[in-house]
Amino acid sequence: MGTLYLIPTPLGKGHANHGMPEYTLQKVRQIRQFIVENQSSALGFLRWVQHPVPDFERIHRIVNKKTPDHEVFSLVELLKHGDVGLFSETGAPAVADPGSMYVRFAHDMGYNVVPLPGPSSILLALMASGMNGQHFEFHGYVPVDQDKRKESVRKLEQESRQHLKTQIWIETPHRTGVLLEDTIKVCQSDTRLAVAASLTTPDEMVISKKISDWSSRDKLTVEGKPAVFLLQAV
């Protein structure tokens, strides 16, 4: 009976290791079977951790948002042959990324599931935001359509004000700028907004201030970077 290991992966994969504990790296190097979101990025990550087994001698199977349920279920059979590591392109697997169904099936079939320590941009951003870390809510991605996006942000601000909780969501690099502009337009001036961009890379930054204090220079700083947005209304 193998164990399913859930492997967080950093956004930055340069020469310096900015987020992966040595214990996690050692465990990854021992695993020979992997469930991954993208084959190319998976191979790059495994080379970055200096996996001792050549690419062609490992097993890599794809599970992404398009993988049908029956195929995900069939891949649980890999655990009969030994340990399996599951990771997405970046970040914590199965959190705003594919993989949760594979984890669920593994539990249902009686396999041990072990989350390995490593970077989680959501918690890193919350830690650095100065906002309520006792009561918060994560929403994944807000809508792409501008009108729906603005309405979603308005509702998140109302929810934050009513229940005194931090609202958290994420965005891809090519939409960070427009999302930031829309958030600043629709929120009250005394609402606090934090944007944590490019976490676990040498260029990481966290800006946290009232809506009224955000400037055009701040917007240029975070534009085009993967980001976590955090909002707390008063």
In sequence order, what are the residues at sequence separation of 6 or more whose Cβ sits closer than 8 angstroms to the Cβ of residue 77? none
List, by residue range, all CATH 3.30.950.10 domains of the chain.
121-232
pTM of the model: 0.89
List, by residue range, all CATH 3.40.1010.10 domains of the chain.
3-115
Which residues make beta-bridge pairs with 227? Answer: 171, 197
Please tell me what DSSP assigns to residue 125: H
Q: At what angle do helices 146-163 and 176-186 cross, to 10 degrees?
A: 50
Q: Does domain 121-232 have CATH number 3.30.950.10?
A: yes
DSSP SS3 for 5: strand
DSSP strand pairing (3-6 vs 112-115): parallel
CB 216 within 8 A of CB 147: no
Considering only CA atoms, which of 149, 142, 121 is closest in space to residue 227?
A: 121
Q: Does domain 3-115 have CATH number 3.30.70.1340?
A: no
Per-block average pLDDT, block size 10, for the chain (234 residues)? 94 77 95 96 94 96 94 96 94 89 96 94 95 96 95 97 97 93 95 95 92 88 92 95
Kindly tell me the sign of the dihedral angle through the C-alpha atoms of 194, 9, 60, 83: negative
- Report the pLDDT value the prediction gives residue 135, as an integer from 0 to 100: 97
Instruction: Tell me the residue type at 66.
Output: K
* Unique residue bearing structure tokens 């934090």: 194
In sequence order, what are the residues at sequence separation of 6 or more whose Cβ sits closer than 8 angstroms to the Cβ of residue 11? 90, 91, 119, 121, 198, 199, 200, 201, 226
- Report the pLDDT value the prediction gives residue 215, as an integer from 0 to 100: 87
